[in-house]
Amino acid sequence: MKLRRRDRSFAGDGRPAIKTREPRGELHRVQAQAGDDRCRGRRLRTVVLSVVSACATIAGLTIIAGPATATTAPATTPGPGIGGTVVISNEDGELWTCNFNPYNTNDNFLSAGTIYEPLVFVNALQSGRATPWLASSYAWSDGDKVLTFTIRNGVKWTDGVPLTAADVVFTFQLLKRFPAMDLNSVWSVLSGVTQKGTDQVVLTFKAPGVAYFFYVADQVFIVPQHVWSSVRNPLTYEDGKPVGTGPFLMNRCTPENVSYVRNPAYWQKGLPRIAKVDYPAFTSNNPANEELASGEANWGNQFIPSIQSYYVNRNPHYYHYWFPPTSNLSLIFNLTESPLNDVAVRRAFAFAIDRNRVSQIGEYGYQPAANQSGVVTPTYASWLDKALLAKYGYTYDPKKAIAILESDGYKRGSNGIFEKNGHRLSFSVINIGGFSDWVASMNIIAQELQAVGIQLTPENLSDSTFENDLYNGRYQLAYYNQAPGPTPYYELRQWLFSANTAPIGQSATTNWERYVNPATDALINAYGATTNVAKQHEIIDSLENVMLSQVPIVPVDELVDWYEYDTQHIGGWPTQNNAFAQPDPFATPDIEVVLLHLYQT
């Protein structure tokens, strides 16, 4: 799955939440929602996402959510007519491959949600509120080890064939047969998926599975058995003419643009109201930014330096932005490489980087500085063990970095770079060259490391080359992020769970640093097996200790969702005070929910 400026969160189980401490994760927007008490200042139950027995009307679209037995479909109310074009400006660093396979790791955001849909939509910006989607209801049983979905009646694939429970079972079994498609490792926690009767699908977990609801309900995109059963190799299948249940049809694709048109037979009657969506490809920030500033595009996912003067002031009545913080943008070590497998070297990195300087200069202050615990603050501040963080003292301290290396037996060479036993602390770091803010940040990081005797040479790559090298472990250091969730657990699981990694030369879904520790795996599994809030906090504290003591990565700053929107001709956008979905177009399936709310003004 694509991450960068588009993270998707990992949420809880969809059952009624207990009002206790509110998890962070996809509630990352919590920090930015200054006036939204739904996502700020309260804590929802960790692991368990709430399902609100309420009805929210947003831009004419009424989405109804209820308890796990709810059968109400997302409903619509009368609103503006059909028309208008949404143009997305989203610099991805490469041209489109026209691959609409929802399980390819490069461009799955081009079809997940818009074409292929999940069983449930989980809105982490509204306390993990869950809305039945292709499933009309769901229920937990057997000590939270069994999750039963009832599949919605009346939904049809775009070729006219009805959606059935068999399609859902087939999709899950497909992920089991082809583990590389199992992007969130759901089969590491599932023991079986079977059909019950004509319209139910039963998921059986190896242990209580409430922490994995998001993965199976919101992040598995259902594909048609009658099409995919004849696909010889689903891993390489490009799905050039996708058949989905979603609100849009892929109309035309070229390397320069993907064009979608509304699905006139979409199961949510009267939706979508938008007639067409264009998704141009951009290989660098500047052209994408100009597309937004000139009004040619109306939905952006862009880093824009001096955004007020460059963008907003050009059309202040209609141009808006919102940058909710998400996850950690981190320096990633390849832990299979020496001497990066030496924790002393990694600790030196952590002390040598001035995170605040990177934030202020590289990211114009839009992305806050991170901390070594891996807990994004203030969004998830209640999860942060401040005493533990203080104990390790990871502040910017070049002298401390030098002392650590010298204590580890390193000595400076004539060029000022530390070395030991013939190994110089000289490394390359791969980065996405099209992201100008990341390039600027990495230049600052390299300067700071040079000052303590570590040489870092940036390699600015195309997006596809970067991801291929990262996933397959063909790098020394890299700069990237993971998708977050409603508590710090979900992002930490992505970084630290060994089931998510792979040997060098094979594609890892996450855990690209190749971190493997059975004790850490046990902590991750223990979290997934409990709904006890106090116990969950204890486990997160222990995972923070892993980050602080073992330094598998160095979080540098907190990634935000770059989100710009133009209200001159299109209305219904998500805002800080109306966060009905994650706002950036990389977020799946949130992109679908946003598009369903939009209308021509």
Residue 8 has pLDDT above 60, yes or no: no
Query: Is 75 domain-assigned?
Result: yes
Q: What pLDDT shows up at residue 61?
A: 32
Asked if residue 227 belongs to a domain, the reply is yes
Alpha helices for 1-70 (secondary structure H) = none
Cα 598 vs. chain centroid, distance in angstroms? 22
CATH number, residue 70: 3.90.76.10
- Record the pTM: 0.72
Confidence (pLDDT) at 211: 84
The pLDDT value recorded for residue 25 is: 27
Number of domains in the chain: 2
- The DSSP annotation for 354-422 comes to -HHHIIIIISTTSS-B--TT---TTTTGGG--HHHHHHHT-S--HHHHHHHHHHTT-EE-TTS-EEETT
Tokens 């977020």: give the residue.
Answer: 587
**What pLDDT, on a 0 to 100 scale, did the predictor assign at position 185?**
86
pLDDT reading at 262 higher than 80:
yes
- Considering only residues 59 and 543, tell me which one the structure prediction assigns the higher pLDDT: 543
- Provide the domain limits for residue 205: 4-79+107-239
Q: Please tell me the predicted confidence (pLDDT) of residue 264.
A: 97
pLDDT at 125: 63
- pLDDT for residue 126: 64
Percent of the chain with pLDDT over 70: 86
279, β-bridge pairs: 258
Q: Which residue, of 203, 222, 239, is where some domain finishes? A: 239
pLDDT classification of 100: cutoffs 50, 70, 90: very high
Look at residue 163 and tell me whether its pLDDT is greater than 60: yes
Q: Does residue 228 share a domain with residue 338? A: no
> 85: how many CB neighbours lie within 10 A of its CB?
16
Residue 501 in contact with residue 188, Cβ under 8 Å? no
**Where among 222, 239, 256 does a domain terminate?**
239
Mean per-residue pLDDT, 185-207: 96
How far does Cα 223 stand from its chain's mean position? 21
Same domain, 364 and 461: yes
pLDDT at 15: 29
pLDDT at res. 58? 28
Distances (CA, A) of 276 to 249, 319, 361, 436, 573: 9, 21, 38, 30, 16
Residue 576 lies in a domain: no
Residue 537 CB coordination number (10 Å): 16
64 inside domain = yes
Same domain, 219 and 336: no
Query: Does residue 545 lie within any of the structural domains?
Result: yes
CATH number at 450 reads: 3.10.105.10
- Please indicate whether residue 19 or residue 233 has the higher confidence score (pLDDT): 233
- The last residue of a domain, from among 200, 217, 239: 239
The pLDDT of 360-384, averaged and rounded, is: 91
* Domain shared by 213 and 343, yes or no: no
pLDDT in tens, 537-572: 999 999 999 999 999 999 999 988 889 999 999 999
Query: Are both 50 and 183 inside the same structural domain?
Result: yes
Average pLDDT estimate for 478-487? 87
The token pair at 93 is 């660093």
429-472: pLDDT as tens digits? 999 998 888 999 999 999 999 999 999 999 999 988 999 999 99
CB 153 within 8 A of CB 132: no
The confidence score (pLDDT) of residue 424 equals 96
| Residues comprising the chain, all counted | 601
Q: At what angle do helices 488-496 and 533-550 cross, to 10 degrees?
A: 40
